[in-house]
Amino acid sequence: MFKKLPGDEARNLVSTTPDTAVVFRPAVVKTPAFVTLVIWLFRLVAGLVRLVVRHPVAVAVPVGLGVIWIVYGRTMALVVAGFVPAMGLSWFLLERDSFLRLVGWRLLAWWRLVFVYRRHWQPVMVISGLGRHLRGRDYLPHLRRVTCDAWADRVSVKMLAGQAVKDWADRAEHLAHGFGAPSCRVAVARAGRLVLTFPRRDPLAVPLPAVPIPGDRDPGVGPVEIGRCEDGRPLRLKVHGTHVLIAGATGAGKGSYLWGTIRGLLPAMRAGLVQVWALDPKRMELSFGRDLFGSRYAADPAECADLLEEAVNVMQGRADRFAGLQRSHTPTTDDPFILVIVDEVAFLTAYQPDKHLRQRITAALATLTTQGRAVGVGIMAALQDPRKEVMNIRNLFPDKIALRLDESEQVDMVLGDGARDRGALADHISPIPHRGAGVGYLRLETSPDPVRVRAAYVSDADIRDMVQRYGSASTDGTNTGNGSASTGGAAEGYEYGSEAA
């Protein structure tokens, strides 16, 4: 075995290149067999140690059973072998959460590591171009660890030296298909290390029923729960202290974001801490719950311009009062948070034929978005076409949501540069309402990574119920709702009505 080392073969090299007189013989260092044996032995021991450290449970179980077999005999080993799964099962049934956290997800992670990721790692890396096969040797990124939770597998990877995150982000689709996942998200853990997220199931695949209206006891203006995130957590949308832009093709489900937000704010509206001002130029969306807004509803473009300018007045009044006293706004009944909701905002800006009106509206929107945050005036606008010509102030909205879009270029227009590369595939959302309506990607001011979310569906019946319980007629007995600007005044929460009167 040791007589002929690979280096000796060089003696028999024959050059196939014509006119080559010189054949280089590689320098061969003969290693004594003893050294090779020591190296192999060392590798074996190191491998065993690594196995124990990485998979302590998987090693402890067979070793423990083996020891019992040797010390107490076969019967005892079989009894214990039956006892352990039975105990695991009862643990699972009684204390599901702790079982999954301590054992279940680890077992699953081990399973997925061995039978999915390690098994397919080499071909997926080489074929997707993330690994190299050079002169018979594979240079592959290092698969370090797999962790699982109820929603997804997270795979930590050490990149090959010289690779960039973009190399991986560009191949997200290759990776997803290669490992049999519906999608793949790439995030940086630290220099040279990535975490790939492969969802195993999609909690957003079916429509979600409307979130219950929060209790009246503790009316809050904090983040409003309006749906669910991809990982199963509730989607809480912050509206106070920011502005939100929602873009999506027609039928993408913009309405459920607007209505979900209104729904979550109803108790605070009743308590007088929030006012929703509704602009509905298409008359197809917010008109349905008109009674909720009292006098602060406008559909006609001229009325919309008036309402927006009124909001600017309120905002400037507050800015004058707050100047030097406070730098951020806390909602009170005297100075409630004003949320201006604009459906189909392009009808008021780009598609508005009256030039004077268009300028007034655009100026008011720009003023509100640039200065409204700190004094408690927020804008939530929905639009279909995110091009700059249509919505030139789109960059003034700190938080953005992209629902189903027609073209891939529109994704970055809404969410900002690089969002699509980071996994916001808004142009791939299904146009079938049951599967895709309300699904979108949310990009917050504070995080560059878009999050896939779905708004709960607020049906017509839900809106009717909201109007019945919280409509202006039911909140203050004197107001008949559907108000002209002259109603209100006495009742709390009618600041706009009283100021306009």
Binding residues vs Mg ion (CB under 5 A): 255, 285
Residue 207 contacts which entry, Mg ion, ligand ADP, none (Cβ below 5-8 A, type-dependent)? ligand ADP
Residue 37, Cα to own-chain centre: how many angstroms? 52
Element (H, E) at 169: helix 165-169
Write down the least CB distance from residue 460 to ligand ADP, Å: 9
Give the strand pairing for 274-279 and 297-298. Answer: parallel
> Which residues, 6+ apart, have CB-to-CB distance to 328 below 8 Å?
241, 374
Considering the complex, state which of residue 227 and residue 331 has its C-beta at the smaller distance from ligand ADP: 227
- Rounded Cα gap, residues 169 and 187, in angstroms: 9
Q: Which candidate, 454, 192, 495, places its Cα nearest to that of 337?
A: 495
Considering the complex, state which of residue 219 and residue 438 has its C-beta at the smaller distance from ligand ADP: 438
Coil, strand or helix: which one is 323? coil
Element (H, E) at 2: none
Residue 297 contacts which entry, ligand ADP, Mg ion, none (Cβ below 5-8 A, type-dependent)? none
Please, which contacts does 294-299 make with residues 24 or more away whose CB atoms are closer than 8 Å? 294/472, 294/479, 294/481, 294/483, 294/487, 294/488, 294/494, 294/497, 295/483, 295/484, 295/485, 295/486, 295/487, 295/488, 295/494, 295/496, 295/497, 295/500, 296/496, 296/497, 297/483
Alpha helices in 372-450 (DSSP H): 409-415, 433-436
Considering the complex, state which of residue 287 and residue 392 has its C-beta at the smaller distance from Mg ion: 287
CB nearest ligand ADP: which residue?
A: 438
Write down the least CB distance from residue 255 to ligand ADP, Å: 3
Backbone angles phi and psi of 216, in degrees to 5: -75, -15
Considering the complex, state which of residue 158 and residue 283 has its C-beta at the smaller distance from ligand ADP: 283
Considering the complex, state which of residue 131 and residue 440 has its C-beta at the smaller distance from Mg ion: 440
Q: Which candidate, 383, 384, 388, places its Cα nearest to that of 413?
A: 388
Residue 455 contacts which entry, ligand ADP, Mg ion, none (Cβ below 5-8 A, type-dependent)? ligand ADP
How far are the Cα atoms of 84, 87, 90, 126, 282 from residue 81, in angstroms, in the given order?
6, 10, 15, 41, 69
Backbone angles phi and psi of 229, in degrees to 5: -90, 165
Residue 252 contacts which entry, ligand ADP, Mg ion, none (Cβ below 5-8 A, type-dependent)? ligand ADP
Write down the least CB distance from residue 320 to Mg ion, Å: 36
Considering the complex, state which of residue 125 and residue 429 has its C-beta at the smaller distance from ligand ADP: 429
Residue 367 contacts which entry, Mg ion, ligand ADP, none (Cβ below 5-8 A, type-dependent)? none
Write down the least CB distance from residue 397 to Mg ion, Å: 18
Name residue 246's beta-bridge partners: 382, 401
Q: Which candidate, 245, 454, 250, places its Cα nearest to that of 345?
A: 245
Coil, strand or helix: which one is 394? helix
User: Residue with structure tokens 């690779």?
Assistant: 163
Considering the complex, state which of residue 141 and residue 255 has its C-beta at the smaller distance from Mg ion: 255
Considering only CA atoms, give the Rg of the chain.
32
List interacting residues with ligand ADP (CB under 6 A). Answer: 207, 248, 250-256, 433, 437-438, 455, 457
Residue 64 contacts which entry, Mg ion, ligand ADP, none (Cβ below 5-8 A, type-dependent)? none
Residue 256 contacts which entry, Mg ion, ligand ADP, none (Cβ below 5-8 A, type-dependent)? ligand ADP
Considering the complex, state which of residue 52 and residue 205 has its C-beta at the smaller distance from ligand ADP: 205
Considering the complex, state which of residue 423 and residue 436 has its C-beta at the smaller distance from ligand ADP: 436
Write down the least CB distance from residue 280 to ligand ADP, Å: 11
Write down the least CB distance from residue 148 to Mg ion, Å: 39
- Rounded Cα gap, residues 188 and 170, in angstroms: 14
Residue 386 contacts which entry, Mg ion, ligand ADP, none (Cβ below 5-8 A, type-dependent)? none
Residue 250 contacts which entry, ligand ADP, Mg ion, none (Cβ below 5-8 A, type-dependent)? ligand ADP
CB 216 within 8 A of CB 270: yes
Residue 438 contacts which entry, ligand ADP, Mg ion, none (Cβ below 5-8 A, type-dependent)? ligand ADP
Write down the least CB distance from residue 384 to Mg ion, Å: 9
Write down the least CB distance from residue 397 to ligand ADP, Å: 17
Write down the least CB distance from residue 120 to Mg ion, Å: 43
User: Residue with structure tokens 């990485």?
Assistant: 54
Write down the least CB distance from residue 308 to ligand ADP, Å: 21
Considering the complex, state which of residue 148 and residue 467 has its C-beta at the smaller distance from ligand ADP: 467
